[in-house]
Every structure is written in C-alpha cells, then in structure tokens.
Structure 1
Amino acid sequence: MTEPLFPARIVAIELAAEDILSFTLHPLDAALPDGIDPGSHIDVHLPNGMMRSYSLSNGYDQRLGFRLTVARDANSRGGSTYMHDKLRVGQIIDISKPRNNFKLAEDAAMSVFFAGGIGVTPFLPMIARLNQVGKPWRLYYCTRNEERAALVNEIRQLEADGVGQFISHYDDRDGLFDLKGTLAALSGDTHVYCCGPKGMLDAFRAGAQVSGLGSDRVHFEYFNADVESATEGGFVVVLNQSGAEIRINPGQTILQALTEHGVNVPFSCEEGICGACETRVIEGVPDHRDMILSDEEKRQSKTMMVCCSGSKSDRLVLDL
C-alpha cells in the first residue's frame, strides 16, 4: 500500500537564488505534526503523477508550515521543472508525513556540515536547533557561484545568533574545494554531515573513512538513487507474523512480489531513498541497494528497504 497522503496548500513561492524557488506549504489536515524534526523530508505528489522527495528547509520558522527549497534542474526527471513552471500560490497538492532518515545528533561536541548546492536545505533546521541548545557548528556551503547560493541571508542570521561559522565556497572563484583535507583536520569527536550531488557524497564518504571519524559520527543524504534495484530473484521471503512463504522470481523486487500476494507494506519512492518501506530483518542476508542505511547498518542488517534490496541468502525472514 502506498503511504497515506495529506492535502497542503501552497501559501508562498519565493525566489531563493538563481533558478531556485522556496515553496511554503500549509497542511490542511490536523494529523500532520506542528513543527518539524531537523533533517526531515516530505514526499510531494505532483498533479502530473510524479512523486519527489524534498528536504524541509525551515529555519527558525518551523511552525509556519513546511518549506521546500527546490533547484530547477533541466537534466532531472522533470519534477523540479514542473514545480517551477506549474505550481502556483493557492494550489492544493498532496504530501506525505515528514520522515527523517538524516537525524541530527544535537548533543555532539561539534557539528560540521558540508553542503553541495541545494543540499544545504536540510541543514537550516539542524543549525537552528543547535543554536537553540547552544551547541557549536560549522557550515561549508559549496556552489558554482554566488548567484546559485540559496538562503544565504538566513544562514548569516543563524551564524549571528549562535556559536557557528558559515564558510561559503564558490567554485568559479575559489576552485576545487578540499573536502578530504578539511575532513582530515577535524577532531575525532566531531559529527559530520553531507548533502549534495553524488560526486560530492562519494568523496565525502571516502574522506570520512580515512579521517579517523567513527562511522556513527558520519551522516549523509543522497538526492536520488544511483544503484539498480535487486531483481535477480531466486529466493524465498518468509513472513514471520503469518509464516507465509513468498518466492521472489527473477525480474521482481521483494516489494512487487509482496504486493502481488496482497501483503500491505508502506512504500513511496521505490528507489531506496525515502525510507517508507524499511522493514525489520529477522533472519537471512539482505542484498542492500538503498541510499539510506550506513555501511555499519548494512553490515548489521537489522532492517532493509524492500522496494529495492534483495537477498544474498536463499531464505529471508522479515517482520511482516
């Protein structure tokens, strides 16, 4: 089953930077929370049938609705272009409840954020929260040029209000950012976060691995999946709650097979980036293909995303 959707009205659309718009949505259903958990995102179901996940970019204004800050990307699958060209103030669209796969460790001695372009969006509510609890932070914000840097005035205000440091890096002016060197210079008790394009995230994960930072202090979020879903099949999924056994045939994902057999599993993106279908693993060895779980979480294999991941064992017992 797809996850429940809730109507929300677009109450403001503002220019945040060159080719970047901020959309403020007011939920019309009391079932949605008042306020947000820093790092959260929502799924937006557009009138043309597309579904896209966007981080909430609220700063201090966390009780004034949900704000999404979206860069127009002509090379994307079309969601951002549709939002820029078609959505209007007053329009009602369907959204999911906020979901958080990018949790803030607000008790960290030091928090350092690396943002690539529009990847800065989840960091505003995180920084606002750190200011509220009096914790230090540093933000490295990398964009092509100053014109493409969104929400800079808000970030500067957050810097003025807390124990933080905002460092902008414009490629056209400053050249290539030394991500590996910056990570290596951090103290071992620092929590580090990265959100941005795939190349930056891959470099961040590689740099963090050799920097001496523990895996529990390294946090990241991808824009979209770049790994193909597991459709090799040839194994059996056992539903622990009923004992039913479902064979996953070649060409199927686990989610597709479960749905065909009438098993209700919440899902949304079907790409392993939203977390809606996360399911507890009781027995077996998953073949993880998602972009959410950390390397350590994948080694532990306590949960998996059934929309895209498969099985390395002949039998997989799930808490369903």
Structure 2
Amino acid sequence: MIRTADPSIFNEEEFRSQLRKAEEDVGCKLLGERSHGNRWETIHEIPLWAERAGIQYESSLGIKMWESRPPMQGYWVGTGLPYHFIDPNGYRRMNLLEIPFFGSDNIFFWKPVEYIVAIKPDVCKSFIAGMGLSEDEAFEITRRFLDEALEKYHTANCYCFHPIYLAARKLKKPVYYTDTLLRKLVNHARERGAGIIGINSWNNFWRARENAEVESIEWNMEESSLKCRVKSPTGVESLTFIAPLEFDGKRAEVLVDGREKKFEEARILGGDYAMFTVDIKAAEEITIEVKYAKPPRQ
C-alpha cells in the first residue's frame, strides 16, 4: 500500500484547513490529533503546526515498526506517560503533550504486509505493518503489559480503537473485529482495579497535575514528620503522592488538613511506600503531613 501527498499541498495551511473541517464535522473543538506524517517521521513540523493551531496533545508516537519484521508493543519512547515536545529552535518546552500510544486495534489484526509511505517525494519509509493475531492472542499481549504496568513499571497503556472496527461485527462489515479485545481488556482492567480514562480526560488531568504547586516543605527532625502545602490553580482530582512507608523504624501516618488519610502500600523500585490521593479544588490549598510515630506492622 502506498500513500502519497504533494508537500506543496500538505503544509501548515492545509493542516489548519483539515482541522477546521474536522471540528465542523464533530461540532466541537478538538484537543488532540494523530498524524501519520509525524508517526512515520516524514513531516517533523507537525508538532509546531499543532501547537500554533491550539492543539493540546499529539498521540502518534510509541509504536515501533521495522522494515523486515512485524511491529511489537513496548515502551519505545521510554515511557507510557505523557511528555512535552521540545522545539529544536532554542530548545523551548512546547505547550504540546505527546501521549504515547501502545498500539491501535488494526495493527494487531492486519496480516503482515509491507507498508510504504511517501508523504514527501524525497522521504520514503517502508515498514512491515500488522501482526496477524486473533483477538484472544492480542488480549494475552495487552493483558501482560497491563499487569506489568500495574505491578512493575507504574505507568499507563494508551490504545487507539477505531469506531468502525468496534462496530464492524454488529454492522457485518468485512473489516477487523476488535470489540471482543476491547471488552476483555476493559474487564481485566476493572478486575485489577486499574483506572480507565479517555484521552481528553487524561490530557486534562496531566496538565492539572503539572500545574499543582507544592510549597513550604518542612521536615521536623525531632518529631520525624514532613509537612507541606499543596494548591492547584485549576483544581485536580486524585492527585497521587507517595512517601516512604517507614523511617527510623517507625511507620508512616498521613494527615490531610489534620485528618487521617488512608493509603495503599506500594513497592516501587525496590522500596516500600505509602501511596495516597487527594482532591484539590480550584484555588484551594491543602496541608499534607506525614508523621513517623507508629510502630511497624508485624
């Protein structure tokens, strides 16, 4: 399969034109985009175009393809969490997040085939696309990565499911059926207690998380206690904090605005931690205190 586009046509003006058309079609402002040109490294300017157009996130990177073998899932950009693009002109941190995705539903089910992309005449990319899996085989892969994200890497797995493939079985369309995979993956996530969130909400949460401010961090050596103030200009729900589970042979006790806060025990990078979440309203300030006075649990 070959996709081509005249670079004199697909420029920033055309990018904005397609964005406006898409927003007219759906009847709302779009916060994010996925572009083949960025994913296949043929139009490097797309993140700059997206930022100037008011787009908040891009979600094309994260999957890796090779010229000689089928694609594989993995943390190919080093993380499953969002990060900011950097403008090479001055190394400015751009107001555009990359939300790396772990894969799209059709990649699992394509039969391996050579895929040639020539968006620019002088930039041609060739890949083997498709893994040729059944829905059960695809679920076993996604299940393993989800379990490892919860137990080992403490990160997020982001997937792109196409509505046409999700509805194909019911509509009797001769394309890939992916509804069983999504249903099994969602059910497994719920069984494991994993959070499930749409990509717009994930973008909004991550930005609110970054805007939260931690101030006046104080450590009281005599009382073995840590205190700080946290505020959020926009408000944020389920903002996660961690603190060492034990210090000097004593177990942590967490207080939020003077009230005891329950926490989960988590083992992260070989250490034991108390993990808890707080909700902060817009312009609100809360006080978090961690005291080490209780004897360790036997």
TM-score, normalising length: structure 2: 0.30
Larger Rg: 2
TM-score, normalising length: structure 1: 0.29
In proportion to residue count, which structure has more helix? 2
